[in-house]
């Protein structure tokens, strides 16, 4: 399945240090590029190169992060604040986090780094045919989205960022989010030395979401591998990912792509863009829409098909974020925003997989007996 936005491969000659780029486009990286662009950005590059429809973007690499920290001259002070912390003492963790984040966010980005990021942002705007294209500025740490640990969500993402100055500001905020209290505590708990974790920052075209949410290619409640589970709400997916609303919930048979279960929830809040302020805001869903299904059945089927292809490509169950862009025509407007390995059930013995295969076959047979259309 081809990408809607054709993106030429652009090798960035500027900002090279020891052959590692400071800035690179998503399509220039893949799943083996975690050390360079972290988990999120390497996954986005892998998806693009696999032909999955993904909004375009670029990354400030870990090389760029290292240069920023060198220029700021604060690494030794950061290390001192992290020394001898107890991961269970959240008061001290949060205080150390506050000091470190203030230091990082107060430091200027060097002219070299700023020029590279600004020029890439300009090129992204030209590619998308949108002046000062709205973007998501996304943290992408080297120790996240790994099959053996659930580091996802430990760092920050900022939606609907527009303009060079705002992009620079949020790049610093993403870098500083490597040192949130929860990120520091989790690394300590999991035995990851702080100095061995770096961060990249992805700058990705914002999908103007009519509907968004998450999809698992395994049942997140019982580990059934024969189904795909989709949760959705109006607007950006932030309300679903954060648990702020109870989303609409669909269970799809992985073989026949039939909707087996459907739960339409009362959705009171959604995130969308405030065009006057040019930022993402939480709004109350109009009363008459709160109990309407937020995604149509054809889109559920297409999403499930895309989920199957992504799972096949990675060879394991996946946790996927998606969005439906209201500015594009139906059929070409479903985008994958992120795909990471599912880590809870995938590492357990595959008892659920064999049970799932049986349940899938049982479903097909019972549907045939009932005369139900399977596709």
Q: How confident is the model at residue 2 (pLDDT cuts 50, 70, 90)?
A: very low
* 199, 216: one domain: no
Cα 73–77–80 angle (5° rounding)? 155
Phi, psi of 11 (to 5 degrees): -80, 125
Residue-level pLDDT at 31: 92
Global pTM reads 0.82
Residue 375 inside a domain? The answer is no
Residue 45 inside a domain? The answer is yes
Domain boundary among 157, 178, 205: 205
Residue-level pLDDT at 246: 96
Burial 340-371 (b: 16+ CB within 10 A, else e): bbbbebbeeeeebbeebeebbeebbeebeeee
Q: Once rounded to an integer, what is the mean pLDDT over residues 49-60?
A: 97
Q: How confident is the model at residue 193 (pLDDT cuts 50, 70, 90)?
A: confident
Domain boundary among 205, 232, 251: 205
d(C-alpha 137, C-alpha 170), whole Å? 7
* 312, 184: one domain: no
* 195, 265: one domain: no
Residue-level pLDDT at 249: 98
What percent of the chain lies above the pLDDT cut of 90?
A: 70
CATH at residue 310: 3.30.470.20
Between 133 and 147, residue with greater pLDDT: 133
Q: Once rounded to an integer, what is the mean pLDDT over residues 78-98?
A: 93
Residue 9 inside a domain? The answer is no
The structure tokens listed for 6 are: 């054709």
Domain that holds residue 182: 16-205
Q: How confident is the model at residue 16 (pLDDT cuts 50, 70, 90)?
A: very low
Packed helices 75-82 and 90-106: angle between N→C axes, nearest 10 degrees:
170
d(C-alpha 13, C-alpha 119), whole Å? 13
Domain boundary among 156, 179, 205: 205
Q: Are 128 and 56 in contact (CB under 8 A)?
A: yes
Q: Once rounded to an integer, what is the mean pLDDT over residues 283-292?
A: 96
Q: How confident is the model at residue 362 (pLDDT cuts 50, 70, 90)?
A: low
Cα 184–189–195 angle (5° rounding)? 50
Mean pLDDT of the chain: 87
Residue-level pLDDT at 360: 55
What residues have CB less than 8 Å from 11, skipping those under 6 apart?
Answer: 28
Q: Once rounded to an integer, what is the mean pLDDT over residues 108-118?
A: 96
């Amino acid at each position: 399945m081809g990408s809607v936005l054709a993106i030429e491969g652009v090798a960035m000659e500027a900002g090279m240090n020891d052959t590692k780029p400071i800035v690179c486009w998503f399509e220039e990286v893949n799943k083996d590029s975690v050390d360079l662009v972290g988990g999120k950005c390497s996954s986005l590059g892998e998806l693009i190169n696999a032909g999955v429809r993904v909004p375009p973007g670029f990354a400030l690499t870990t090389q760029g992060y290292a240069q920023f920290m060198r220029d700021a001259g604060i690494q030794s002070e950061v290390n001192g604040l992290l020394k001898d912390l107890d991961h269970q003492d959240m008061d001290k963790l949060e205080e150390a986090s506050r000091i470190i984040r203030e230091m990082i966010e107060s430091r200027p980005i060097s002219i070299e780094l700023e020029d590279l990021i600004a020029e890439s942002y300009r090129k992204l705007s030209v590619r998308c045919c949108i002046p000062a294209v709205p973007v998501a500025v996304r943290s992408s740490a080297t120790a996240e989205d790994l099959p053996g640990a659930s580091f996802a969500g430990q760092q920050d993402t900022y939606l609907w960022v527009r303009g060079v100055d705002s992009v620079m500001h949020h790049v610093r905020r993403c870098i500083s989010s490597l040192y949130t209290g929860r990120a520091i505590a989790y690394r300590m708990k999991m035995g990851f030395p702080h100095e061995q974790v770096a961060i990249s920052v992805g700058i990705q075209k914002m999908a103007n979401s009519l509907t968004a949410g998450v999809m698992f290619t395994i049942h997140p409640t019982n580990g059934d591998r024969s189904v795909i589970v989709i949760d959705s709400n109006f607007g950006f997916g932030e309300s679903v990912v954060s648990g702020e609303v109870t989303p609409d919930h669909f269970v799809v048979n992985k073989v026949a792509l039939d909707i087996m279960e459907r739960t339409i929830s009362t959705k009171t809040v959604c995130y969308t863009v405030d065009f006057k302020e040019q930022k993402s805001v939480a709004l109350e869903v109009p009363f008459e829409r709160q109990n309407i299904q937020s995604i149509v059945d054809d889109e559920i089927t297409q999403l499930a098909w895309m989920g199957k292809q992504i799972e096949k490509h990675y060879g394991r169950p996946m946790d996927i974020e998606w969005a439906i862009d209201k500015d594009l025509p139906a059929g070409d407007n479903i985008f994958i925003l992120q795909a990471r390995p599912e880590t809870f059930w995938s590492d357990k013995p595959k008892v659920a997989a064999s049970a799932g295969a049986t349940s899938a076959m049982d479903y097909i047979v019972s549907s045939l007996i009932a005369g139900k259309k399977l596709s």
